[in-house]
Amino acid sequence: MTTDKTSEPSSGGSPLFDLQALVVAVRRRRRIWSTLALLGLLAGAAFAVLMPPPPSAATKVLVTHQEDQANDTGTLIRTDVELLGTTRIAGAALRALKSPDKPEDFMRDYRGTGLTNNLLQIDVTADTDAQAVARAEALADAFVADHVRRMRETAKAESKALIEQRDRMRDELTAVNKSIGDRSPDGDPKGSASIESLFARRAELNARIADFDQRAAEARTGTPKIVSGTQIVDAPRAVQHSLPKAAVTNAGIGCLLGLFLGLAAAAVGAVVADRPVLRREIAAHLGASVIAELRRTPRRPAALWQRRRSRTAHERLTTTLTRTVRGSAEPVSFLELGCARSTSVLALDVARELATEGPPVVIIDGLPGPQLANLRRKPDDPVVLSGERAEAEAQQARRLGVGSVAPGTAWTDLQYLGGQTVLVVRAGHGSASWLHTVARQLADQRIPVIGVVLIDPDPRDRTDGTLWDGLHIALRGHSERLDRRNGISQMWTERLPMWAARVPNSE
Q: What's the pLDDT at 188?
A: 58
Q: What's the pLDDT at 204?
A: 84
Q: Is the pLDDT of residue 494 over 50?
A: no
Q: State the chain's mean pLDDT as an integer.
A: 79
282 and 248 fall within a common domain: no
Q: What's the pLDDT at 5?
A: 42
116 and 229 fall within a common domain: yes
Q: What's the pLDDT at 36?
A: 93
pLDDT band at 256 (very low <50, low <70, confident <90, very high): very high
pLDDT in tens, 274-308: 888 888 888 888 888 888 888 765 555 544 555 67
119-125 and 361-365 beta bridge pairing: unpaired
Q: What's the pLDDT at 502?
A: 38
Q: Is the pLDDT of residue 331 over 90?
A: no
Mean pLDDT in residue range 221-250: 84
Which domain CATH number covers 192? 3.30.1890
Q: What's the pLDDT at 472?
A: 44
Is 141 inside any structural domain? yes
Euclidean distance between CA atoms 472 and 66, whole angstroms = 90
168 and 257 fall within a common domain: no
299 and 283 fall within a common domain: yes
Is 190 inside any structural domain? yes
The residues near 333 (Cβ < 8 Å, ≥ 6 apart) are 364, 366, 400, 401, 402, 403, 414, 417, 418, 420, 421, 422, 447
Mean pLDDT in residue range 184-205: 71
Q: What's the pLDDT at 471?
A: 40
Q: Is the pLDDT of residue 21 over 60?
A: yes
What is the tally of structural domains in the chain?
Answer: 3
446 and 469 fall within a common domain: yes
Domain hosting 72: range is 56-240
**Ranked by mean pLDDT, which of 163-177, 390-404, 483-497 comes out on top?**
163-177
221 and 172 fall within a common domain: yes
147 and 229 fall within a common domain: yes
Q: What percent of the chain has pLDDT over 90?
A: 25
C-alpha to C-alpha distances, 197 to 185, 284, 469, nearest whole angstrom: 15, 106, 113
Burial of 145 (0-12, 13-18, 19+ CB in 10 A): middle
Mean pLDDT in residue range 206-225: 76
Mean pLDDT in residue range 134-157: 89
Q: What's the pLDDT at 473?
A: 40
Is 5 inside any structural domain? no
pLDDT band at 396 (very low <50, low <70, confident <90, very high): low
261 and 165 fall within a common domain: no
Is 20 inside any structural domain? no
Q: What's the pLDDT at 173?
A: 81
Q: What's the pLDDT at 189?
A: 60
Is 2 inside any structural domain? no
pLDDT in tens, 338-357: 888 888 888 888 888 888 87
Q: What's the pLDDT at 139?
A: 94
Mean pLDDT in residue range 488-493: 38
Euclidean distance between CA atoms 318 and 351, whole angstroms = 9
End-of-domain residue from the set 186, 221, 240? 240
The residues near 15 (Cβ < 8 Å, ≥ 6 apart) are none
pLDDT in tens, 77-133: 999 999 999 999 999 999 999 989 999 999 999 999 999 989 999 999 998 999 999
293 and 370 fall within a common domain: yes
Is 136 inside any structural domain? yes
Closest CA to 325 of 289, 344, 296, 349: 349
- Sheet strands side by side (includes 231-238): 110-114, 119-125, 56-62, 231-238
C-alpha to C-alpha distances, 390 to 7, 383, 399, 487, nearest whole angstrom: 37, 10, 9, 30
pLDDT band at 8 (very low <50, low <70, confident <90, very high): very low
pLDDT band at 11 (very low <50, low <70, confident <90, very high): very low
Whether 159 contacts 220, CB under 8 Å: yes
287 and 434 fall within a common domain: yes
The residues near 7 (Cβ < 8 Å, ≥ 6 apart) are 283, 284, 287, 467, 468, 469, 502
End-of-domain residue from the set 183, 218, 240? 240
pLDDT in tens, 402-461: 999 988 888 888 888 888 899 999 988 888 889 999 999 999 888 998 889 988 888 787
End-of-domain residue from the set 219, 240, 261? 240
Which domain CATH number covers 405? 3.40.50.10710
Mean pLDDT in residue range 317-333: 82
Is 1 inside any structural domain? no
75 and 221 fall within a common domain: yes
Is 4 inside any structural domain? no
Q: What's the pLDDT at 251?
A: 93
370 and 453 fall within a common domain: yes
pLDDT band at 500 (very low <50, low <70, confident <90, very high): very low
pLDDT band at 395 (very low <50, low <70, confident <90, very high): low
Q: Is the pLDDT of residue 504 over 60?
A: no
